[in-house]
Amino acid sequence: MITLGKALNHGLRRALEDDPKVVIMGEDVGKLGGVFRITDALQKDFGEDRVIDTPLAEAGIIGTAVGLAIRGYRPVCEIQFDGFVFPAYNQIVAQVAKMHYRSKGKVRLPLVIRIPFGGGIGAVEHHSESPEAYFAHTPGLKVVTCANPADAYTMIQQAIATDDPVIFFEPKRRYWEKGEVDLDAPLTGAFPLHSARVARPGSDATVLAYGPMVRVALDAATAAAEDGRELEVIDLRSLSPIDYPAIFESVRRTGRAVVVHEAPGNVGLGAEIAARITEECFYSLEAPVLRVTGYDTPYPAARIEEEYLPDLDRVLDAVDRSFGW
């Protein structure tokens, strides 16, 4: 049993061992091992040329990584906190996402941008955000997020091995949660990076979640089972592309769907998923697709973030409303 944070550390270590072109770069990732210690001891073991402490300049980190990727390296950039990614936003959407397209396929950017995201840790302003929709909306970027240690270990390696740029969101409130991880399992047999996973099978309604909300959805399913309702929980894992066939198969069986995420509901991923389910599964639906999201406000102060974050009660309320139609 290891934590999600430690699983990421092991995954990064294995990637560094397997490919000398992999380099890690970011603020305090070297000697400190990162704010969350995800890169702990990697600089000591692989040297300052492979694990690089950068200046506090996110645009510079991503711009440098673009050049490295063009020259054949596989840079893994850490954005220290989700709210710090915006100074690099122009680099990501104007260069990282478009270089392959603009070069007519001649240039690839095998670049991973790691971003701790979400709330639940009582952090100060700019340290708890959910910016995933910005990047999932951008053609040319692949966007994924892990929800448990086993996926963290394999998904970070799969992202690094991908020849396209990947935004890798890490649920910071889950860094300390433990799970079983097979550190010796070959990556070739791992669950596909862009496939959704059934985290809990069920027959009465489908609850779709990703990242930090998967645990909330699973807890809601446990509580609902006490009332005789079997909820199927699907961990989306990939936010761009989204594994719609897995979603549609589940919803066609259950007839109901609830989408859960921390980000605001307005123009969020839940809206797109709900629209696609309605288009493809209309004649199977017993009720409208419902969303449980953060509120359409700036992320609140830490002392009231629990009022903002979707919780078990809000998910169960949506399930009840779905059955009330």
Residues acting as catalytic residues: 127
Sort 192 into a burial class: Cβ within 10 Å, 0-12 / 13-18 / 19+.
exposed
Extended strands (E) in the chain: 2-3, 22-26, 51-53, 74-78, 112-117, 142-145, 166-171, 178-179, 197-200, 205-209, 231-235, 238-240, 257-264, 290-294
Distance CA 144, CA 292 (A): 20
User: 150 is written with which tokens?
Assistant: 């086993």
Residues near 179 by Cβ (< 8 Å), separated by ≥ 6?
Answer: 1, 2, 4, 7, 148, 149, 150
Cα atoms found within 13 Å of the Cα of residue 251, Cβ hemisphere only: 30
Partners of 235 in beta bridges: 197, 209
Partners of 23 in beta bridges: 75
User: 209 is written with which tokens?
Assistant: 């979640």
To which H or E segment does residue 1 belong?
none
DSSP state of 38: T
DSSP three-state, residue 41 = coil
